[in-house]
Chain A
Amino acid sequence: MFDAVIRNFGFLMGGLGVTFQLAVFALLGGIVLGMLVGLARLSKKPWIYYPVTAYVNFLRNIPLILVIFWFYFVMPILVGRSIDPFPSAVISFIVFEATYFGEIFRAGYQTISTDLVNASYSTGLTYWQTARYITIPIAFRRMLPSLITQSIVTFQDTSLAYVIGLRELVRRVSIVDNMEVRSIELYGFAALVYLVVCYLGSRLSRHFEEKSRKANIL
């Protein structure tokens, strides 16, 4: 019964490839920016704290799909020419997901005692060296399960990029469906693909959690 899928398998898997590409860029950018956002959210400098807090609160209170849309239609006005769906989606996702990763990192940084940071400063390390070698790595390890959970959510969210015409998995399913008219099996197949990838992701998360607990590192 999956013959419509089999006939278009290459095309559909190409869509999964686009989904993965978008997810990888969104995650790399979102996590790196999130590390900085988390630091800024704990900053004692008002000119850093307030703008970043406003940015986080603003984006966390609007749906991602609007951010994707808005960015895609506003960017051409700002840069003076139309912009491809893929880079537009990548930037929207980074800017949006960084607020979520930022809050995870902030919680991670807050598990670190003031004196641990003072210990680092007392050896002459600077703020950025302390962030790079002490606070970020510790927060990253302590927050790994939450980071993986949010990464899985991000992976699922990439399907929203279909609204700006990005030919990722869901978009390609709908293209095939327009020709084959086999909605149940085609969308069922897409769901199965997301399920498998996300299930593997959550198993990976549990594996790392167990491992760091056994290693007794944190």
Chain B
Amino acid sequence: MIEIKKINKWFGDFHVLKDIDETIQRGQTVVICGPSGSGKSTLLRCINGLEPYQEGEIIVDGTSLNDPKVNLYKLRQKIGMVFQRFELYPHMTALENITLAPMKVLKWPREKAEAKAKELLARVGIPDKADAYPANLSGGQQQRVAIARALAMEPEYMMFDEPTSALDPEMIKEVLDVMIDLAKGGMTMLVVTHEMGFAREVADEIIFMDEGRIVERGTYEDFFNNPKTDRARAFLDQILD
């Protein structure tokens, strides 16, 4: 369980996150949407300690990030993350991208890490791309390798930061299908996305953020059919165009 309690964060004078409260239960998929600059990506980065926050508390499975003795490296092992621009290591093959962390962090022997990587590549639908370099993969393929890389650490949570917004339209589905499978398989997921089809299919809760604040939350039906605020209505009109 991830508990976020009254988080406030500033970049200099800019107040990026304002009183964010949220609890993510095991097995849930929570979708975060909202206009760009509303703090969605920053929130994800705070949860795995990539960005500090100034006020409030985040607790992951009982471990508080406020504790000065918290081992962030240990914490991050159980929270996989997928980025908008894939961020694969360009000098490594797909297989090496996936096996690096299990071998160096979990100290798995190479054979075990490679077997796991191949299994994951098969699961994301590109078993034949193990030896390809990122530059020779399409965007959709790169993002699926990135998902496999995160899954290789056998995380208990997965965070996705606009995983399809850098993709050509014809590649979005192949990535979303992998994510839908994961969600249906019981993975706890926190997904920043504007893909409302994905939200409808798997989201237990949708959070709408604007200017650093959570302005609406509810089920897909609630949010989609009767948004309570003008901002949410305007946002929905825009993305459904």
Contact = CB atoms under 8 A, between A and B. Distances in A.
Interface string B149-169: 110110000000000000000
A124 B76 contact: yes
In this complex, the interface size class of chain A, counting residues with CB under 8 Å from chain B, is: 20 to 34
Contacts of A124: 73-74, 76-77, 101, 105, 153
Interface string A180-218: 000000000000000000000000000000000001111
Given A216-B133, A217-B91, A217-B133, A125 B83 contact: no
A178 interface: no
B87 A138 contact: no
Interface in B78-112: 79-81, 83-85, 87-91, 100-101, 104-105
Contacts of B77: 123-124
Contacts, number: 78
B146 interface: yes
A129 interface: yes
21 contacts: A113-B87, A118-B45, A118-B50, A118-B81, A119-B81, A119-B89, A119-B146, A119-B149, A120-B89, A120-B101, A122-B48, A122-B50, A123-B80, A123-B150, A123-B152, A125-B100, A125-B104, A126-B73, A133-B89, A138-B89, A141-B91
Contacts of A129: 104-105
A119 B83 contact: yes
A123 B145 CA distance: 14
**Most A C-beta atoms less than 10 A away, residue of B45, B79, B91, B152:** B91
Contacts of B84: 115
Contacts of A215: 133
B239 interface: no
Contacts of A116: 87, 89
B135 interface: yes
B91 A138 contact: yes
Given A119-B146, A124-B73, A134 B153 contact: no
A217 B153 CA distance: 25
A138 B135 CA distance: 14
Nearest to B102: A123
B226 interface: no
Contacts of A125: 73, 100-101, 104-105
Contact of B50 (A121, A134, A138): A121
Interface string B44-82: 010010100000000000000000000001101101110
Contacts of A87: none
Q: 10 nearest interchain CB pairs? A: A123-B101, A124-B77, A122-B81, A119-B87, A124-B105, A216-B135, A116-B87, A124-B76, A115-B87, A115-B83
A113 B101 CA distance: 19
Interface string A124-136: 1110010001100
B84 to A, nearest CB: 8
Interface residues of B, number: 30
Nearest to A218: B90
A137 interface: yes
A121 B50 CA distance: 8
B136 interface: yes
A83 B28 CA distance: 69
B208 to A, nearest CB: 24
A133 B100 contact: yes
Nearest to A132: B104
B83 A134 contact: no
A50 to B, nearest CB: 21
B38 to A, nearest CB: 18
A217 B50 CA distance: 27
Contacts of A141: 91
B105 A123 contact: yes
Contacts of A113: 85, 87
Contacts of B89: 116, 119-120, 133-134, 138
Given A216-B136, A217-B135, A118 B101 contact: no
Contacts of B152: 123
Nearest to A216: B135
A121 to B, nearest CB: 6
A110 to B, nearest CB: 15
A143 to B, nearest CB: 13
